[in-house]
């Protein structure tokens, strides 16, 4: 057997081996919600993607790549007859998840504010209890605001459905954009007044709020 024949046989064996290797690689049991070419959320491979907010793809990708993407998932279960109602319920549940997250982080916010207030109180220039009360009231108002479907900085990015027997599981992916949300907070007259009062006394409300937002990415 000449050298050329041996090389050809070797090449065929290698090609077949590589083919078998790729053929036997495990396939993903999921598919992905994408944002401008970036994988954002894994879902069942059998799910049907019914909506993606294409106008926000680049922004969602930017949030993801900068480590600032906060996403909340809402679900509803029905018979697949009234899809509008099913999506509205899933949307409501997603906002509920967002609200519950910030409500659960009230102790984190409290600790962050306490750290600022202690430094101020030591100078004797401010009433620590009054500042703490104002800060917590503002945080509660912000949490309630974030749970509203009208607030700027939150939007539904994707909707998908999963079929299990006669049931349809409708899911939505809610995006929380910190930049837009904080701008919405600043535009709320009542909350802005409380935040200004805190700022005049040396308490940076948004610094503490950003600390809570950062917790979600850990």
Least confident span in 6-10, 43-47, 75-79, 113-117: 6-10
Task: Report pLDDT digits (tens) over 145-204.
Answer: 877 765 678 899 999 999 999 999 999 999 999 888 888 888 889 999 999 999 998 899
Choice between 161 and 81, residue whose per-residue pLDDT is larger: 161
- H, E, C per residue of 103-128: HHCHHHHHHHHHHHHHHHHCCCCCCH
Long-range contacts of residues 57-60, Cβ cutoff 8 Å, at least 24 apart: 59/177, 60/35, 60/36, 60/157, 60/175
pLDDT above 70 (res 32): yes
138, 205 Cβ separation under 8 angstroms: yes
Q: What whole-number percentage of the chain has pLDDT above 90? A: 54
Q: State the Cα–Cα distance between residues 35 and 164, nearest whole angstrom.
A: 27
What value does the mean pLDDT of the chain take?
84
pTM above 0.85, yes or no: no
Q: What is the mean pLDDT of residues 35-54?
A: 96
Least confident span in 12-21, 48-57, 111-120: 12-21
Name the residue among 21, 205, 1, 32 with its Cα closest to residue 109: 205
pLDDT above 80 (res 62): yes
Which pLDDT score is estimated for 179?
86
Query: CA angle 63-65-68, nearest 5°?
Result: 40
At 218, the pLDDT band (50, 70, 90 cuts) reads: low
pLDDT above 90 (res 216): no
Q: State the Cα–Cα distance between residues 72 and 98, nearest whole angstrom.
A: 6
């Amino acid at each position: 057997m000449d050298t050329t024949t041996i090389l050809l046989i070797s090449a065929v064996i290698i090609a077949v081996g590589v083919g078998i290797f790729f053929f036997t690689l495990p396939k993903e049991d999921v598919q992905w919600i994408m944002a401008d070419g970036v994988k954002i959320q894994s879902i069942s491979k059998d799910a049907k993607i019914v909506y993606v907010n294409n106008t926000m793809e680049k922004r969602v990708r930017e949030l993801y790549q900068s480590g600032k993407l906060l996403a909340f998932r809402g679900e509803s279960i029905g018979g697949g007859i009234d899809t509008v109602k099913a999506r509205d319920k899933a949307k409501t549940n997603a906002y509920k998840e967002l609200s519950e997250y910030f409500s659960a982080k009230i102790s984190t916010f409290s600790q962050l504010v306490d750290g600022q207030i202690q430094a101020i109180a030591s100078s004797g220039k401010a009433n620590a209890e009054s500042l703490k009360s104002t800060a917590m009231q503002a945080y509660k108002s912000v949490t309630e605001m974030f749970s509203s479907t009208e607030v700027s900085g939150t939007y539904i990015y994707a909707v998908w459905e999963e079929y299990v027997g006669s049931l349809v599981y409708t899911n939505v992916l809610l995006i929380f954009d910190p930049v837009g949300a904080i701008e919405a907070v600043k535009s709320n007259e009542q909350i802005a007044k409380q935040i200004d009062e805190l700022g005049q006394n040396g308490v940076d409300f948004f610094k503490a709020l950003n600390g809570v937002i950062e917790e979600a990415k850990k």
